[in-house]
């Protein structure tokens, strides 16, 4: 039986800002544009206590931060990289959520799915300072629905024995796959809950509204989803690690030791996923508002610790100002799977050229012998 996790970062944009600036923790925070027509993009859970949610106009007495996509992309990439160290069978669903097939992992490690989910939650929180909810189920649809049931930091197991009890009473608008425009039309036809979608007596009504996807939704409402975790949707472009130092420091030995640890983690994660990259970048952050990111290309695709470390140290030494640091990060970029890497051959490699000539002569001889 499949064991699928759906892992969803909670209030991601707001949580990312809090991870980046600890003074925002526990405060009502919204991410939004900076004009009078702006609406809320993401609201922290503290803001939601006041009835503030996404897609509503701005209110007074809130902490408002502009969208910072560079920060969100960096944390998103690090989140997926961290999850992939547990299982490479990962499908990225959006910037803040993924499906992971843990079937083999759970058998090999003899661990209960709930315990594994708790370990992953704590790892994400301790490493990235981000909270996530996890749904555990035998298929992707049920895992997605389960992850939405308890937020933030919830873990929900949905299976064949309890999905009718937990899933069917939910409003039809909460069913993944039914849009905001479709839900009112279904309600007009008397389909009010997910249980009503699962009721075959309503199938013809469902088909009138949904069309060719009616059978798919009917099956999902009955706990049936045969879609697999699609690792081809895993579009990681970099493998990176960063850390916020316990204290701001300009002690070079402490910084070099931190670099060694970061580069070791980057190499380990890349090798575990059979990834190689041809560019190294570092991030040096002095304060909340002052940071430097520098990148340099490599002459070949690699994932070796020594090369990552020497390149990162070169970039650091070239760009470090000497001021106390609060954060440092290292990334291996432009990553590809090693199996798809085709190394270009130099035209001046004599041994290869000789082999090429011999091969060509053999082909010509074979053709001539067949034509005699």
Task: Record the tokens describing residue 256, joined without a space.
Answer: 């070099």
Q: How many helices (H) and strands (E) does the chain have?
A: 14, 13
Distance between CA atoms of residues 237 and 74, nearest Å = 11
Distance between CA atoms of residues 26 and 233, nearest Å = 34
- Helices in 239-304 by DSSP H: which ranges? 252-272
Residues in Cβ contact with 168 at an 8 Å cutoff, skipping those fewer than 6 apart:
193, 194, 195, 198, 221
Strand pairing partners for 331?
240, 281
Distance between CA atoms of residues 279 and 260, nearest Å = 17
Contact 89, 229 (CB under 8 A): yes
Q: What is the dihedral of CA 329, 82, 274, 303, to 10 degrees?
A: 10
Contact 90, 98 (CB under 8 A): yes
C-beta contacts of 203-209 below 8 A and 24+ residues apart: 209/182, 209/185
Per the annotation, the verdict on 232 as an active-site residue is: no
H/E stretch holding 275 = strand 275-285
Distance between CA atoms of residues 354 and 361, nearest Å = 11
Judged on CB neighbours under 10 Å (0-12, 13-18, 19+), 170 is middle
Is the previous residue joined to 182 through a cis bond, with omega within 30 degrees of 0?
Answer: no
Q: Of 155, 156, 130, which is closest to residue 45 (Cα–Cα)?
A: 130
Which residue shows structure tokens 């070169």? 314
Catalytic residue, from 46, 81, 91, 97: name it: 97
Which active-site residues does the annotation give?
A: 97
């Amino acid at each position: 039986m499949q064991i699928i996790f759906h892992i969803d970062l909670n209030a991601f944009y707001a949580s990312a800002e809090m991870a980046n600036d600890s003074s925002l923790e526990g405060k009502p925070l919204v991410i939004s544009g900076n004009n009078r027509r702006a609406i809320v993009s993401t609201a922290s859970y503290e803001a939601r206590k006041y009835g503030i949610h996404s897609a509503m106009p701005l209110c007074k007495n809130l902490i408002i931060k502009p969208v910072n996509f560079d920060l969100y992309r960096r944390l998103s990439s690090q989140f997926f990289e961290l999850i992939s160290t547990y299982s490479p069978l990962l499908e990225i669903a959006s910037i803040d959520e993924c499906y992971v097939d843990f079937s083999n992992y759970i058998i090999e490690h003899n661990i209960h799915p709930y315990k594994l989910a708790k370990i992953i939650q704590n790892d994400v929180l301790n490493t990235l300072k981000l909270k996530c909810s996890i749904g555990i189920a035998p298929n992707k649809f049920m895992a997605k629905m389960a992850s939405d049931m308890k937020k933030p930091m919830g873990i929900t197991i949905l299976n064949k024995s309890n999905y009718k009890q937990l899933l069917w009473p939910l409003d039809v608008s909460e069913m993944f796959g039914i849009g905001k425009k479709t839900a009112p039309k279904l309600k007009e036809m008397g389909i009010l809950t997910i249980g009503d979608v699962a009721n075959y007596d309503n199938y013809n009504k469902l088909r009138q509204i949904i069309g060719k996807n009616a059978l798919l939704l009917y099956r999902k409402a009955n706990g049936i989803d045969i879609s697999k975790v699609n690792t081809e949707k895993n579009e990681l472009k970099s493998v990176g690690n960063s850390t916020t130092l316990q204290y701001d420091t300009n002690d070079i030995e402490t910084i070099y030791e931190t670099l060694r640890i970061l580069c070791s983690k980057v190499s380990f994660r890349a090798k575990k996923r059979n990834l190689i990259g041809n560019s190294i970048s570092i991030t040096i952050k002095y304060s909340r508002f002052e940071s430097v990111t520098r990148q340099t290309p490599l002459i070949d695709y690699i994932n070796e610790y020594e090369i990552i470390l020497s390149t990162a140290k070169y970039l650091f030494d070239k760009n470090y100002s000497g001021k106390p640091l609060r954060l440092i990060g290292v990334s291996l970029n432009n990553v590809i799977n090693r199996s798809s890497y085709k190394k270009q051959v130099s035209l001046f490699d004599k041994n290869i050229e000789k082999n090429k000539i011999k091969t060509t002569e053999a082909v010509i001889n074979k053709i001539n012998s067949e034509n005699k």
